[in-house]
Chain A
Amino acid sequence: MKPAHPTLRSAAMAYVLCTVGLLAQAAPDATRGEQVYVRCLACHALTTDRVGPRHCGVVGRRAGAVAGFDYSPAMKKSGLVWDEKTLDRFLKKPLALVPGSSMTYDGVPDAGERSDLVAYLKKTNTDVACRTK
């Protein structure tokens, strides 16, 4: 069998490398998510309510359900439960999903960053600091 033309071999190798690279990039990473989370720190913390509600336990929680936090009527009435899908939609464009929300933030446009951020929030659910809150 005749060996593949060098150009074809290079193209095939580039395809494999790019595909592997994309797959690696696509895997949600909580460590990267922690870096994205710094954008939230003007208003949020994991364990305490601030301008926004605490994030410990957010994954799996009903929207507007942290006791004692003063939510917007829009959030209280949203009927959302925070899971990977709803968090992704909300973080993409908060006011598009919940118009009238107090989270007046344009969102995280990059899908990879959003999935990393959600991975971080999921991870924190089981952290010691969160388990005691």
Chain B
Amino acid sequence: MSFLKISDPASTRRMFMGRSGLVLSGAAVALLAGKDALATKSGGSTAGDVQILNTAIGAELEAIAAYQLGAESGLLTKPVLDLAVTFQGHHKEHVALLSSTVEKLGCKAVLAKAKYNFPVEQLKSQLDVLKFAAQLEQGAVSAYLGAVPLFANRDLAKAAASILGDEAMHWAVLRQAIGEAPVPSAFMA
């Protein structure tokens, strides 16, 4: 099955968890499977790549904490809560992938902070929570967009671009939920 032929997000997640090899490119999969030599041959991961991955993990961990804050706020209706938990699950999957990749590269993945500083005093309604989440997701799209060109290993860049697509979908859905045009422009920056 081709990476480009996956049409249903739920089945994509199932496939991702069960058969990552079908979703990610050869070298990224090799890293995840522990075949470091193969991965090194196909692109050459560097300390720079690990730094990029760890910065991404840090942001993903914060996103997980932010969704947890939203989920526990008592401000979300059931459908929105379900959505938040689903998106949080995606971020957890991102962290699992990125962290295992860092470890396969022989380095330590960053861990979650003991405490995150969120603007709790500004979150007084479901709309506030959704806007806050949308802002984080938009930032995540930009962050991955800014990280993809920096990878020495192009297969890792491809894996990061795959995550970028997921973040962009989150952002679009959240924009729709807050009553804004889900896709405001043809390009992202």
Residues of A at the B interface (CB closer than 8 Å) are 36, 38-43, 45, 48-51, 72, 95, 100, 102-107, 113
- A41 and B146 contacting across the interface, CB-CB below 8 Å: no
Main secondary structure of the interface of A (DSSP, over half): loop
Nearest-neighbour CB distance to chain B for A69, whole angstroms, equals 12
- B146 and A107 contacting across the interface, CB-CB below 8 Å: yes
Residues of B at the A interface (CB closer than 8 Å) are 48, 51-52, 54-56, 58-59, 62-63, 116-117, 119, 135-136, 138-140, 142-143, 145-150, 189
Chain A CB within 10 Å, residue with most, of B116, B135, B150:
B150
CB-based nearest B residue for A94 = B146
- A106 and B149 contacting across the interface, CB-CB below 8 Å: yes
CB-based nearest A residue for B137 = A42
Q: What is the number of contacts between chain A and chain B, taking CB atoms within 8 Å?
A: 70
- Select one of A41, A43, A49 contacting B55, CB under 8 A: A43
Main secondary structure of the interface of B (DSSP, over half): helix
Contacts of A48 in B (CB 8 A): 117, 119
Report the Cα distance A113→B146, complex, angstroms: 15
- B150 and A106 contacting across the interface, CB-CB below 8 Å: yes
Report the Cα distance A40→B63, complex, angstroms: 14
